[in-house]
Structure 1
């Protein structure tokens, strides 16, 4: 029998026994690191991931966004579980409006090989699915305090006056309007703009967040209507009207100072030479702290006799000679010559 050569044995070891040897070594190492490693129990937090929610539906309730999962496995695998992006996936592709109960059993959590899920807390998730709608809500201002005496609030406008909110129908149906937090009007005596936060229900805050709008406060003087009789200043002309009646809105601040209307206003006649009338003008005293609003004057127009209408004096344009005086009747005499006597 011919002995086998050395090259034959080298080929046999290289082609057949070497891969087997490497596999045995790797199996031993894997058994030591996994099978032979001590197993541990631990709890990890797993996020909840909602998938395929229909566009016309919305989850209207609060639910736990993380689950506490107790797992068992080799220490080396457990330590790296946080890097594996494990989550509890909930598929809502076929969901309809209403309440849906999701069961969290150990099979609902997918973990790497070698790790076992022992428990999931909470064991169920309750989801309230609602129709997604949009509604417009008017803004109602809420005020406290009073303006300074002598002033009244003419208007209080909100900008914007209406807010559109998109959210669950069950949440939006509970509200008809949105209100501001208290706007303090104390000691205000002029128009201004202030920032007014909205006083929102927590469910609305979840939809639009904390919201602030602009409140435009319009303030005016508090006035009373009074009618007085004023003497008419006709600038020396003889007119049939000596006094006029004046109806005016007078600020209460002036009335509180006991100022007479005759000290606030005066009536003066302005001449309209073209139409031959006098127009009654009401003039306010220059030192009034607040203006008086004249509503009506009776009479407002006074007719003047034509003989009293001042006639404008005409003058020739500059540079134009005045017209010569008319010559006397008869034949002019030469200077130095006497007039000859007439024949008898």
Structure 2
């Protein structure tokens, strides 16, 4: 009996471990099936053995295919809250890939557009389920995209110091171009600055001034500043000053000129008028340039160096004077050679005399009366300044032949 059992065990062992038996197993691809079973077991243990979790993640909104002539004019949430369920590692992998909620606006038109957020709108990996999306819809207002110019208008407070005026206030830039929704840009026609304080200002200055913008404009161009260029000058009044002495110099030497005085019209600061009673003391008239062929020197006003405020010249009358060189001999001969007036106004008014006594002269150029027995030849001239004046020059007497 024992031998029978032993023989049965031996036969079974030989049959189990025989080469032919194993060849039949290998020929039927049992090895491949075994490997597949092993891999499936490992995968099940990796996935099925991981915890299933519910997690809220923030998914960004991505706008695609927006037409070039349209723009989104309203404010909307740039992210939505999505509740996911699935293996922890799969949800973490999804977060690392930066999955977004894409909104295709290729067929959008101006106006209000409502976009629904359903569970299929979020791409998720296998094994992850979308449980909820908040908000469930997104409202987009589409508007035409335009460009508009806005002038920059300064806003000031206070006044400049007494005796000064603000001559001009220039903004740089003075115009700003903005591109944005038509409905927003149509709400304003100019951009105002924040308040610029000019109270007590005595000199020109530049300020960096922020613009006072509405929140909708800040969204388009951000916080923007401009430069305010303020020009402040002394307040001026126009004054005429007569008979101011002319000082002429040539080659460092003082020259005699005619006329010796000039009249000027100046714009003078009111502060200077308050401190100076004699206006002739705040300036002088000089003729120091080289004389031209005609011998005239151009006049110019020279402010006193002690003046801290500017003086503006409106006009000088006359604009030029002539150099008068006094040569040896009689004053009349020297003055005739230089083409200058024979005498001053006082001299012109005195009667001329000859060897035989005073000569009667009328003041009418067209009808000069001369005694019949007078043998003196009289030369008459007129001056530009006094058309009625008469100049009489005595010369040698010519006797008639008998």
TM-score interval (norm. to shorter): 0.7 to 0.9
Q: 2:246 touches 2:262 (CA, 8 Å); kept in 1?
A: no
| Residue 87, structure 1, aligned to residue 77, structure 2 | no
| Residue 155, structure 1, aligned to residue 168, structure 2 | yes
SS of the equivalent of 2:29 reads: helix
293 and 34 in structure 1: CA distance in 2 versus 1, 3 angstrom threshold: same
TM superposition score normalised by structure 1: 0.76
Q: Write out aligned runs for 1:187-198 (5 A).
A: 187-198=200-211
Q: Give how far 1:292 is off.
A: 2.2
Report which stretch shifted further, 124-133 or 228-237.
228-237
> Hey, what does 2:304 align to over in structure 1?
285
> Hey, what does 1:255 align to over in structure 2?
273
Determine which structure has the larger strand proportion and give its number.
Answer: 1
Ranked by relative contact order (alpha carbons within 8 Å, sequence separation 6 or more), the top structure is: 1
Unaligned 5+ runs, structure 2: 1-14, 249-254, 325-330, 339-402
> Hey, what does 1:294 align to over in structure 2?
313
Q: 1:276 touches 1:306 (CA, 8 Å); kept in 2?
A: no
Q: Give how far 1:8 is off.
A: 5.4
> Hey, what does 1:130 align to over in structure 2?
143
SS of the equivalent of 2:201 reads: coil
Q: Give how far 1:106 is off.
A: 1.4
| Residue 174, structure 1, aligned to residue 193, structure 2 | no
Q: 1:244 touches 1:299 (CA, 8 Å); kept in 2?
A: yes
| Residue 51, structure 1, aligned to residue 70, structure 2 | no
Quote the RMSD (CA, aligned, Å).
3.4
Q: 2:84 touches 2:128 (CA, 8 Å); kept in 1?
A: yes
Q: 1:229 touches 1:245 (CA, 8 Å); kept in 2?
A: yes
238 and 54 in structure 1: CA distance in 2 versus 1, 3 angstrom threshold: closer
Of structures 1 and 2, the larger Rg is shown by 2
Q: Give how far 1:246 is off.
A: 3.1
> Hey, what does 1:338 align to over in structure 2?
none
> Hey, what does 1:114 align to over in structure 2?
127
SS of the equivalent of 1:22 reads: helix
Aligned length: 309
Q: 1:137 touches 1:162 (CA, 8 Å); kept in 2?
A: yes
Distance 2:299 2:91 in 1: 100
281 and 27 in structure 1: CA distance in 2 versus 1, 3 angstrom threshold: closer
SS of the equivalent of 2:220 reads: helix
Q: 1:232 touches 1:269 (CA, 8 Å); kept in 2?
A: no
TM superposition score normalised by structure 2: 0.66
